Structures are given as C-alpha cells and as structure tokens.
Structure 1
Amino acid sequence: MELDWSLGEYESTGEALLPVSEVVVAMSEPLAGKRVVDLGCGTGNAALLAAARGAVVTGVDPAARLVEVARERAAERGVQAEFLAGDAGAIPVEDGTADLLVSVFAVIFAPDADAAIAEMARVTAPDGVIRLTSWVPGGSMMTINNVAGRFMGEVFGGGPAPEPGAPKPLAWHDEAALREAFAKYGLMVEVERRSMRLTAKSAEEYLAKSARHPMAVSAAQALASRPDGAELQAELQGRLLAAVREINEDREAFQVSNDYAIVTARRG
C-alpha cells in the first residue's frame, strides 16, 4: 500500500529540511526565466526558492493537502508558482519542458523507481538537468525508518512475496546503481555527498516531532487496529528512543548528522 503523505503534519519535517532545498536550488542557479519542476514538492520549499529567483515553477505532489499548503505559502510570499496534484509515475508536465527538475527527498519514495526515472527523463528538456537528493544509510532519518520497519515486520509479518515482474527497489544513494538505472534513458549521473544536522532540546523532543511524520502516523494507525495496540506503540517508542539516544552527538541536548547524496543527471 502506498503511503498517504497527507497524513499527520509533514510541515515540521519540511521546515527541518529547508536547508537542503536551499543547497539544491543554489547549485542550480542562475534560474531566472528557466522552467523548473519540483517533483514531490511537499510544502513547496524548493519550488518557492526557485520562484523567488525568477524561475517559472511547477510543483507536483501526490498529497492534495500539501499541494494546498504550498499554494498558501506562495501566496503569503507573493511569488508566482503553479502547484499540481500528481505523482512520479505520471508527472502532469509536457514532454521536454523542464530546464531543471528537482526532487528533495521525494522521488526516492516512488513505488516504481524505473517508471519515475522514465517520467523525469520525459519531462526534462534535451539540455535540462535533473537534481535530486537521497538519504545515505546512517543518521537519524534512516535509523528511525529502519527501527520502525523492523518492528512493523515483527508485528505484521514481512508481507507477501513480491509478484513476478514487480518493480525492484533502487538504492537512490548508490552511484553505480543510479548510473545503470538512468543510463537506460540516456542520462549520465554524478553523485556528491553532503551532510546536514538536526537538533532538538532532547532526544525525547526530537522523537515527538518525528511522530507527526506521515510514516509515523501511518504506523500508529496500523498498530491501533490491534487489540494490544497501546502496548505495541509503547514498545515501538521505547525502541526508537533507545536508537536515537545511541546516535545522539550532544550530551547536553540532541544533535545528529544526516549524510545525504545529491544526484545530478543530464544527457551526455
């Protein structure tokens, strides 16, 4: 089942990830007059930054609620940007029209990576650039996802075996895997590593904020469907707290480094 990104409160996560959008947009300048697509735009971070630099921007996201949030933020800032509901497997943009397509920690969650790459290649202009970000294993983001994923597997089982011909997952941070995946569409790939820090007053506060993320809300709803849901949720929270405490880099508060990859793809 595909995650409903309208659940919970992605806004706080979007705010924390704004510095990465700033990096991606800055390295893509100059943008004045260029046609930019922000795929999986969420609350509109990258889209609004590009629009403020004079780009003609279209933000696309599968979550209707987040599309509305992005529109409201654009209106508040007085910038012009179009926001549409749509997903990575069927981007509502015409062929070859994007001078720049960005996707900040978004397309990496597409259920069909190959279909998403095909769509990104389709909408990008012949001399255009695709620039996306992906988490690298380690750090608080991946730690929480891994711990929660293992726990949900214990509770509900590993799920049915993939059907023959089902889309294969892609290691979006791995340069060799990316080169192979993008080469099918005539795209060359470069990958560079960066790091960002997330802070909070304590590990408990950080985990409380993370509990509003759509993934966490979806997991909580699934556990609540069980008669022992309260006990299971408490067990999961205990495991998550132990995990984030272990990777905490600040003895007085909470700080953790999250490495990520910036993937740039263009035609040779």
Structure 2
Amino acid sequence: MNDKTEATEADRALKQEHRAMWAQGDYPALASELVSDLGAILVDVCGVKPRHRVLDVAAGAGNAAIPAAMMKADVIASDLTPEMFDAGRRQAADRGVELEWQEADAEALPFQDNEFDVVMSCQGVMFAPHHQAAADELVRVCKPDGHIGLLNWTPEGFIGKMFDTMKPFAPPPPPGTQPPPLWGTEDHVRELLGSNVTDVKAEKRTVAITSFHHPEDFLHYFKSHYGPAISVYKFLGEDQDKVSALDKALTELADTFLEAHGDTTAQMEWEYLLLTAKKARPATS
C-alpha cells in the first residue's frame, strides 16, 4: 500500500468519524433552541434574493438554508451527516418552503465550478478538518462576483473556550488537521481565501443565550446534545476521575460566562465572526 492510498484511507476514516460525531446527540434541536436566529443573519448579510442559486455548506438541519429558501432562492443544503436532514425537512415543511438536501464533504463538494450565486456556511465548514481544502471548495463553486458568507465561533468566545477546555481530555487530532475556532479569526480566513476574493467584510458579534440558568444546566445539555462534547466523554469512558475533572472544567467555564439578568433570568454571550466576500473575477490577459 503506497503513501497516497494510506492517506486516502485515513481521510475516509476521519470523515466517517466526523459523520458519526455529528449524528449522535441532537444538534438540530440545539441549533433550533439556542442559535436559530444566526442563519437568518447570515442570509441577510449575503444578500440572498429570489432565484439566487444558494449552497449552504455543512448545513446541518438547515439553520441558514431554510431562511434562504424563505427568500425564494433555489437552495441546496449540503452536509457530511445526512442523519440531520430529516429534522431539516420537518422544519422546512413547517415554514412552507422546499429545498434540496444533499450529502456532501465540504472538502470535496460534488458541484460544478462557478455554480452558485451565494455560498455560505453557518458554524459548519469550520469543523472541516483541512481548512485550506474547504476554503478552496467554497471559492471554486461560487460564481465570479458571487458572495461567500461565513458565520463561525471565535477562539476567544465561549464556544472557542469550550474547545480549549475539552482539548486536554480528547484524543490528539490527526496530523494536518486544524482546530475549528481558527475559522473565527479574520486573519486566518483572509489567508485561506487569499486573492480569490475581494470586498472582504468582517465583524465580531455576539448572540445572547438565555436557556441556561445555572452552569450545570449548560453541562447537562451539551453532554446530551452536542456531538463533539459527547465524543470526548465517550473517549474518557469509565475513567470517572477524568469525567469528573472535565465536568468541573466545563461547569467553571460556563460560570464565567453566565450573568444574571434581573431576578429570574441568566444570559450568556457567545461571540462569533461574521465574514463576507465576493469571488474575484478571473484575471484577463
């Protein structure tokens, strides 16, 4: 077996692990219950219009794809984990819209060059393990002068800090992969997109999370709903000392972000990077 074959098999195995990770728990419920507004925000800044061809990469259950379809765009929601599509189809039906759902690897999208007016991803492509490969695909399938829009958690925000907290308890990442929250760093995304894009606009925003009244509420919810967290706990298995240590670390992290609002409510602010760009036109000789 040559090195290329070994690399191909290792990548295939890695993608199967990623698919299985996101299929466990209930990410569609999490996205709907905690961050449902973010998809519509991304659709708005991307300027999605009727009859636009729109691709949502790593779409999950369509948190951004469904709002795009509500704008009467022609939308494809693509994801490595098609197990989430049934929830998306139910949500789309509830909102009276139709769109196409297609299994797809963000690093090898099964679409033609220059096919879409808008290519977007809402907390999705950031989890593709090879950042440059995924960025190149975003650009490739977008039409010249088309829009690329990304909404990703920042390293400094709560979700970025959560991944830092889990890292010592998780298995080491495969060689050549990069941490997801790097996609929440403007300089990193600019470097990934490079000269393939123009008119880059980026800003940091926060989303208010009001579902957790106590740090333990967050811990229990993410341990049951969020695939990456579930995978880390599965890796720890029956090692109760490490499980307890991770419980404590995540609870303490949540406590630092949780603030009282009035006498009966509590709120967390989760930071994200919102970035848009236009695909550059090919240079003319």
TM-score by length of 1: 0.87
Match of 2:71 in 1: 53
Match of 1:9 in 2: 26
| Distance across 1 between alignment mates of 2:90 and 2:257 | 36
Partner-residue secondary structure (3-state), 1:261? strand
| Distance across 2 between alignment mates of 1:213 and 1:207 | 10
| Distance across 1 between alignment mates of 2:157 and 2:187 | 22
Partner-residue secondary structure (3-state), 1:242? helix
Shift of 1:168: 5.5
2:36 partner amino acid? L
| Distance across 1 between alignment mates of 2:190 and 2:47 | 24
2:169, 2:236 within 8 Å by CA — same for their partners in 1? no
Match of 2:8 in 1: none
Q: Deviation string for 1:227-251 (max 9, x for gaps)? A: x423322221122112211222227
Partner-residue secondary structure (3-state), 2:55? strand
Partner-residue secondary structure (3-state), 1:5? helix
Q: Deviation string for 1:162-212 (max 9, x for gaps)? A: 3xxx35568323333322221253555321111111122222112211112
2:45, 2:276 within 8 Å by CA — same for their partners in 1? no
* Match status 1:66 vs 2:78: no
Match of 2:258 in 1: 248
2:193 partner amino acid? F
Work out which of the residue numbers 203, 215, 222 in structure 2 matches 1:192. Answer: 203
Computed over aligned residues only, the root mean square deviation of the Cα atoms, in angstroms, reads: 2.1
Shift of 1:263: 1.2
Aligned residue pair count: 257
| Distance across 2 between alignment mates of 1:198 and 1:47 | 22
1:143, 1:244 within 8 Å by CA — same for their partners in 2? no
1:238 partner amino acid? K
Q: How does 1:1-268 map to 2 (within 5 A)?
A: 1=14, 2-3=17-18, 4-15=21-32, 16-152=34-170, 158=172, 162=175, 166=176, 171-187=182-198, 189-199=200-210, 200-211=212-223, 212-224=225-237, 228-250=238-260, 253-268=265-280
| Distance across 1 between alignment mates of 2:191 and 2:163 | 26
Which one is further off, 203-212 or 21-30? Answer: 21-30
Q: Which consecutive residues of structure 1, in runs of 5 or more, have no partner in the other structure? A: none
| Distance across 1 between alignment mates of 2:105 and 2:40 | 23
